[in-house]
């Protein structure tokens, strides 16, 4: 089976053509770098995404947060819920861990801005 994908690895958005056998990518064409090939392989077998959102501090200030790595796509909403529920007080430094293991993915969520 052939599947057409758009790589989300960078703003170029390469159009990928992937040959799929038994739920695994066996060949990838159309990519211009290694990121495209890796994306196609994971997108076919187990899609992942990085998540960005905000957490409201006890002082009522929104602090931007991202997952430190990619998490399974089907866990996006659970991860956001975990981040929203975190108790955070100012000051926050860029890179501070907000949630150490977001929704049991083993991936941490970290602050992306310093807020004094």
Query: What residues line the site for other proteins (CB under 8 A)?
Result: 5-11, 13, 15, 49-54, 56, 60-62, 64-66, 73, 76-77, 80, 94, 112-114
Closest distance to other proteins from the beta carbon of 51 (Å): 8
Closest distance to other proteins from the beta carbon of 86 (Å): 14
Residue whose CB is less far from other proteins, 22 or 60:
60
Give the tokens for residue 49: 């995404």
Residue whose CB is less far from other proteins, 26 or 33:
33
Q: Write the CA distances from 41 to 33, 36, 37, 70, 75, integer angstroms.
A: 13, 9, 6, 14, 19
Residue whose CB is less far from other proteins, 64 or 108:
64
Closest distance to other proteins from the beta carbon of 20 (Å): 17
Q: Write the CA distances from 70 to 49, 52, 107, integer angstroms.
A: 5, 11, 8
Residue whose CB is less far from other proteins, 22 or 30:
30
Closest distance to other proteins from the beta carbon of 1 (Å): 19
């Amino acid at each position: 089976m052939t599947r057409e994908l758009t790589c989300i690895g960078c703003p170029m958005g390469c159009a990928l053509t992937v040959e799929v056998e038994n739920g695994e990518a066996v060949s990838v064409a159309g990519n211009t770098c290694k990121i495209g090939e890796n994306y196609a392989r994971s997108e076919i077998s187990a899609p992942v995404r990085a998540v960005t959102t905000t957490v409201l501090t006890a002082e009522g200030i929104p602090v931007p947060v991202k997952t430190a790595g990619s998490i399974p796509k089907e866990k996006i909403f659970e991860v956001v819920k975990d981040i929203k529920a975190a108790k955070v007080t100012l000051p926050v430094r860029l890179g501070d861990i907000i949630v150490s293991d977001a929704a049991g993915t083993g991936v941490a969520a970290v602050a992306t801005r310093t807020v004094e």
